[in-house]
Amino acid sequence: MSVDDQAETVPDDSAEPRNVIARRTADIAAGAGLAVIGTLVLSQAVRSRPGLSERLDPRTVPVFLSAALVVCGLGLIVAALRYKGAGGVLDWPTAKGWRRVGLATAAFVAYAQVLVGFGMAVATAVFVAGVEWALDRGSILRAVAWGLASGVAGSLVFVALLDVQLPAGPVDNLIASLVGG
Amino acid sequence: MELLDGFQAALSPENLLYAVIGAILGTLIGVLPGIGPTAGIAVLIPLTTVVPPAGAIIMMAAIYYGAMYGGSTTAIVANIPGEATSVITALDGYELAKKGRAGPALAVAAISSFVAGSISLVGLSVFAPALARWALEFGPPEYFALLMVAFSLVITLSGRTLLKGVASAALGMLVALIGVDAYSGGTRLTFGIDAVSAGLNYVAIIIGLFAVGEVLFNVEKDVKRIYEMAVTRWLPTRHDLKESAAPALRSSVTGFFLGLLPGCTPVVSTMIAYDVERRVSKRGKNFGKGEIAGVAAAEGANNAAVSGGFVPLFALGIPSGATMAVLLGAFMIYGIQPGPRMFTEHPDILWALIASMYIGNVVLLILNLPLVGIWARLAKIPFPALAGLIVVFSIIGAYSVRNSMFDVWVMLIFGVVGYLMRKLEIPLAPLVLAAVLAQLVESSLRQSLATSHGAYTIFFTRPISAVLMIAAIVLIVRGVWVYVRNPERKSAVLEDVD
């Protein structure tokens, strides 16, 4: 976030009610999420096998921490309900922003999935080109060239030269054999 | 003498090369949009495993201070701080850039960083061994109490985000406790999933939280081209240098001493040192309006605090912030546990590392002054072209630690978690700090209780631990008191850390 952006987060009176509601909702959601995670972990922690002879039972620290998580979550909800609006504008995504984040996450997952089957060079070329084009909406040719360069360079440096044990496909093997790896 | 031996090792062609590569990579990380030093170091940790341990650690440290240097470039040229500490540099730097003085601002930033780096490295060479000698007397209760001080500082500095800061730290510790308990042999918090019984890899977690989370953040914002300013003239005038000299020196000293405090991150140190300088300087009233002395003060404090942060890391094994926590994790991967024993068990590596910092400081000045224009041009690389590459590096980094696709999935999950935490204003630094220190906290508590036959009073019957515990309690009570009195007080610290 730029400093100018940060300066813009000073609340302005006309927008305050919406901002207050957004922040309150977000803090309630965060508090509820933390309390739920804390409860789940707490239930799991108390069911762990107790220690036999240790002075500190292996369950003690997880139980303490998960209980702290529940308390913090509930505290956050209470604080959110009492919130009067002095905390600045919450930087919450628009619907378009959420869609972009969702698509990006799906692309990352797809890349990780395809990497195993197709190897570093091919998967990286397709992924980098796709991401570049999707985010920039510029020249397809440039995106493809950037993707190909990234795929080949990535495979050359990491698989062939540095010998990082990444999933390798036929193209990676070809590149490795060309450089004598 | 030990430092001279360190120089001998650091000046070997191989180690010199690693320092130079690290400095260049670090500056790149600092300059390029969409990846900060924490994520950058986390991504590069696994890739340095092809290098011998001493070289890898030298390279890691060079990446860290290189990133700190690089971060100021984008802060000055485009008002986009490459990392959190550069927020202060942007206050005056960007104003100067708008007046067409980006070049001199960048040059003064580089010179001030060099001066601060040199002064604080002398401090590091003197203070770290002394503190380590003292810390050798520490037993588990003292360690546990010291860790409590570090965590209580996190709480104190949380301000409005107190509950979120504590929750973040609790989450971090819980994540680190997943898997087989080394003492009892039983599994904890696995939810019956066999794959997690070996524990979650914290490198994957950190890469996810910082690198992938950052990419998602920028994707949401539809960030494209953000660096548009041209840098034509970079030489500062004699007047610039005269104006900058005293602020750079003063803020270096302030920044270094603040950096010594465990839990006091470079962001906090820089903010305080800048504020002190604003009050002390003759031109203080112009700070924030494009004052070259302001750039010198911010950069001096920033770089001095970074070196100051190495003192508690080397002497006590306590990181001062998220990036230091990642460095600590990197050291542990190479089988080196920072702390007082590091000075006796691995003096060769340690002094070579400190010596390499002196060398890296010179390398960075050489890189930064004449190459300012090139770095500024590199900063203009559009984010869409980098986004995919950052994810590729992240996946390679997460995978190569244990050659496991499971770690890649963990990283992606924590990428989404990191993005959501950022959106919900839950600070990431306490999570990372807690995740890296969790095992140390639990083991020191266990050993203390084993010594005392289960009596918690052990922490108050030994002088050092009693003082530390009381300090921790005072800090916690003060933090909670301030929060309860005014829960909407804005924190200028943890919210900026991430």
Q: Which of B46, B388, B425 sits opposite A132 (nearest CB)?
A: B388
pLDDT value of position A5: 43
Structure tokens at B72: 């100021």
pLDDT value of position B263: 58
Between B228 and B135, name the one with better pLDDT.
B135
Lowest mean per-residue pLDDT among B72-86, B277-291, B308-322, B331-345: B72-86
**pLDDT tier for residue A93 given thresholds of 50, 70 and 90:** confident
What does the pLDDT average to over A112-131?
Answer: 91
The answer to whether B424 touches A94, Cβ cutoff 8 Å, is: no
- Best B87, B95, B160, B188 residue to mutate vs chain A (most A CBs within 10 Å): B188
Domain count, chain B: 1
Mean pLDDT of chain B: 82
What does the pLDDT average to over A13-33?
Answer: 78
What does the pLDDT average to over B275-289?
Answer: 81
The highest-confidence range among A137-151, B94-108, B182-196, B312-326, by mean pLDDT, is A137-151
Residue A32: pLDDT over 90: yes
Residue A54: pLDDT over 70: no
Partners of A4 on chain B (C-beta within 8 Å) are 79
Residue B63: pLDDT over 60: yes
**How many helices and strands in chain B, by DSSP H and E?**
23, 2
pLDDT value of position B419: 94
The answer to whether B117 touches B303, Cβ cutoff 8 Å, is: yes
pLDDT value of position B234: 65
Distance CA B482, CA B491 (A): 11
Nearby residues of A1 by Cβ (< 8 Å), 6 or more positions away? A91
Chain B residue with CA closest to A96: the answer is B220
Residue with tokens 């600045």: A88
Lowest mean per-residue pLDDT among A16-20, A29-33, B150-154, B171-175: A16-20
Structure tokens at B400: 């190569």
Distances in Å between the alpha carbon of B361 and those of B54, B121, B309?
Answer: 18, 9, 16
List, for residues B231-281, the tens digit of each pLDDT value: 556 678 888 888 888 889 999 998 888 888 765 667 777 878 888 888 888
Rg, Å, chain B Cα set:
22
Between A88 and B217, name the one with better pLDDT.
B217
Lowest mean per-residue pLDDT among A70-84, A167-181, B347-361: A167-181
pLDDT value of position B159: 62
- B1 burial type by CB count under 10 A (0-12 exposed, 13-18 middle, 19+ buried): exposed
Chain A to chain B Cβ contacts (< 8 Å): 198
Say yes or no for a CB contact (<8 Å) between B424 and A27: yes
Partners of B446 on chain A (C-beta within 8 Å) are 54-56
Residue A56: pLDDT over 60: yes
Residue B291: pLDDT over 80: yes
Partners of B390 on chain A (C-beta within 8 Å) are none
Min Cα–Cα distance to chain A from B160, Å: 8
Say yes or no for a CB contact (<8 Å) between A48 and B383: no
Structure tokens at B462: 């030994």
Phi first, then psi, for residue B6 (nearest 5°) are -60, -40
Distances in Å between the alpha carbon of B215 and those of A121, B297, B398, B421?
Answer: 22, 31, 16, 14
Phi first, then psi, for residue B428 (nearest 5°) are -85, -25
Element (H, E) at B188: strand B187-188
Distance CA B13, CA B28 (A): 22
pLDDT value of position B418: 93
**pLDDT tier for residue A26 given thresholds of 50, 70 and 90:** confident
Q: Which of A3, A91, A112 sits opposite B91 (nearest CB)?
A: A3
The closest alpha carbon to B258, from B219, B299, B306, belongs to: B306
Where in chain A are the domains?
3-81, 95-178
The answer to whether B61 touches B101, Cβ cutoff 8 Å, is: no
Between A119 and A11, name the one with better pLDDT.
A119
pLDDT value of position A76: 92
Structure tokens at B377: 């041009």
pLDDT value of position B497: 38
The closest alpha carbon to B424, from A76, A131, A168, belongs to: A76
pLDDT value of position B180: 87
Strand partners of residue B432: none
Say yes or no for a CB contact (<8 Å) between A127 and B391: yes
**pLDDT tier for residue B143 given thresholds of 50, 70 and 90:** confident
List, for residues A146-174, the tens digit of each pLDDT value: 999 999 998 888 877 777 777 888 888 88
Say yes or no for a CB contact (<8 Å) between B167 and A29: no
Q: Which of B81, B166, B419 sits opposite A72 (nearest CB)?
A: B166
pLDDT value of position B229: 53
**pLDDT tier for residue B368 given thresholds of 50, 70 and 90:** confident
Q: Which of B47, B190, B384 sits opposite A132 (nearest CB)?
A: B384
Distance CA B84, CA B58 (A): 23
Distances in Å between the alpha carbon of A119 and those of A10, A143, A180, B207?
Answer: 48, 20, 18, 22
| SS3 sequence of B398-443 | HHHHHCCHHHHHHHHHHHHHHHHHHHCCCCCHHHHHHHHHHHHHHH
Residue B184, amino acid: S
pLDDT value of position B488: 60
**pLDDT tier for residue A144 given thresholds of 50, 70 and 90:** very high
**pLDDT tier for residue A108 given thresholds of 50, 70 and 90:** very high
- Best A19, A28, A56, A120 residue to mutate vs chain B (most B CBs within 10 Å): A56
Partners of A108 on chain B (C-beta within 8 Å) are 212, 391, 412, 415
Distance CA B433, CA B455 (A): 27
Torsion over CA: B135, B138, B140, B141 (sign): negative
Percent of chain B at pLDDT > 70 equals: 90
Min Cα–Cα distance to chain A from B123, Å: 32
**pLDDT tier for residue B1 given thresholds of 50, 70 and 90:** low
List, for residues B330-348, the tens digit of each pLDDT value: 888 777 888 888 888 888 8
Residue B412: pLDDT over 70: yes
Residue B133: pLDDT over 70: yes
Chain A residue with CA closest to B390: the answer is A128
